Amino acid sequence: MENVITSMSATALRDAQRQGKLSVLEIAEACLDRIEAVNPLINAIISMRSRADIMAEAEDMQNTGGCGPLYGLPIAIKDLRETKGITTTYGSPIHKDNIPAKDCLLVARLRAAGALIIGKTNTPEFGLGSHSYNPVHGVTVNPYNLTRSAGGSSGGAGAALAAGMLPLADGSDMMGSLRNPAGWNNVYGFRPSYGLVPDDPAGDSFLHQLSTSGPMARTVKDLELMLQVIGVPDARLPHATNPFTGMGDQPIKGQKIGWIGDWNGYYPIEGGVLELCTNGLDTLSDLGCDIRPVIPPFAPEDIWHAWIALRSFTTASSYVKLFENPVTRDLLKPEMLWEIECGLALSARDVHEASLISSQWFRTVAMMDVDMLALPTAQMFPFDAKLHWPKQVAGRKMDTYHRWMEVVIPASLIGLPALSVPVGFGAEGLPMGLQLIGKRGQDAQVLRLGHAYHKATQYPQKHPPVVA
């Protein structure tokens, strides 16, 4: 029964519990048994609460009863989000003993919706890099090949979902951190339109608009379930949108999808990636979508230059105090030091010109005669987990620690909704994903398309990893 429970979707588990077919205790016990069996091999879930405490809370929830949309569903929170009473390290030795006294806004919403919080999911130090390793908790590996990376920065979340340890997970995405690990773990990850999922109302609320939180799951219906909980505006934040009420059931036939591919050779992409993505697009074509190759009328290198300026500006603004303190500075990884140094070297004019580029890119996408754009989720298959980051892709040298993920920034730079859907496996049996990128505010439309695709393919259900 355990494997049956842990392979069920979050929506199915919720319905079974409401119908009296499963109890909160049975769901929690099955997930904890699965974690005990496979997490030592994968290292996806960290800072676990004791089994006794979790089961005691599950029993109390079962006895009390509740009707929250996530009631009784086990979840582990990404280790970048403050979680009351559970060690939250940000993957950094600076915070290795940090036990927050309160939840951040996102966690508070999940808890209020009835989620049973059992621990945290692993992430790279301060979320920098698409490979989930850090000096506090070690490396998270891929359930499909335990020698390969699970991606990042939501790598712990993606791996835990794929291996059946959790039915649902949260993540965050600045540079593909919801999409890359989803693609590399054969699950779904959704980066919402900027502003749909509010961050904590503290500090600056205007300048930094690159990162957002979002859901990860094994079905698109589960993404919808979680997004209805966290996608609610907060009046204290200036970029709020209307609350997310669901993806609806409008037909997807006739949707125009612009396939960018490798952007006319600009992106170096490992062999096999584009072929899998085009297979995924063929499925969408069979569902009635209009797939058309497109080359956006914009210089992709300009997008990159704007990105590295605004990203380092954001990173330096957030972590400059750690940089200025010699004690904490010595505990920062080289990539963080590089980001902060680059950010501090920028002039106001540099930041303004980067913002002008992103503004023009937004206008360009808005005027393109397509409903969505499509790109690979990553430029290569999961790499050796012992590496810090890949130094080359398809024979081309990477000049930064994140250049190998350049393919995700067309959506990130301008806050577009982007869904990673699984498209199959390469020659070595490693998963890959496809990004479906909508225009700002078209979150429901993107999820509807992904839901139709999932019903036609069901990759997570048909091809789970064999771990234990």
Tens of pLDDT along 220-257?
A: 999 999 999 999 999 999 998 899 999 999 999 999 99
What per-residue confidence (pLDDT) applies to 241?
A: 86
Q: Is the pLDDT of residue 218 over 70?
A: yes
- Inform me whether the pLDDT recorded for 2 exceeds 60: no
Antiparallel, parallel or unpaired: β 290-293 and 256-259: parallel
Which candidate in 47, 149, 172, 177 is catalytic?
177
Catalytic residue among 153, 172, 211, 420: 153
Find the mean pLDDT for residues 124-139.
Answer: 98
Confidence of residue 1 (pLDDT cuts 50, 70, 90): low
What's the whole-model pTM score?
Answer: 0.98
What tens digit of pLDDT does each residue of 92-120 get? 999 999 999 999 999 999 999 999 999 99
pLDDT at 269: 98
Give yes or no for residue 468 having a pLDDT over 80: no
Give me the pLDDT at residue 240, please: 84
Query: Per-residue pLDDT for 364 more than 60?
Result: yes
Question: Measuring CA to CA, how many Å separate 429 from each of 350, 405, 432?
Answer: 44, 21, 10
Closest listed residue to residue 143, CA positions, set 110, 92, 108, 186? 186
Ranges of each domain in the chain: 2-296+368-462, 301-354
Q: What is the pLDDT of residues 365-401, one digit of tens each?
A: 999 999 999 999 999 999 999 999 999 999 999 999 9
Q: What is the pLDDT of residue 45?
A: 98
Rounded mean pLDDT, 280-289 = 98
pLDDT, one tens digit per residue, over 13-49 is 999 999 999 999 999 999 999 999 999 999 999 999 9
Whether 153 is catalytic is yes
Among 9, 47, 78, 358, the active-site one is 78
**Fold topology of 2-296+368-462:** Amidase signature (AS) enzymes (3.90.1300)
Average pLDDT of every residue of the chain: 97
User: Rounded to whole angstroms, how far apart are CA atoms 173 and 181?
Assistant: 10
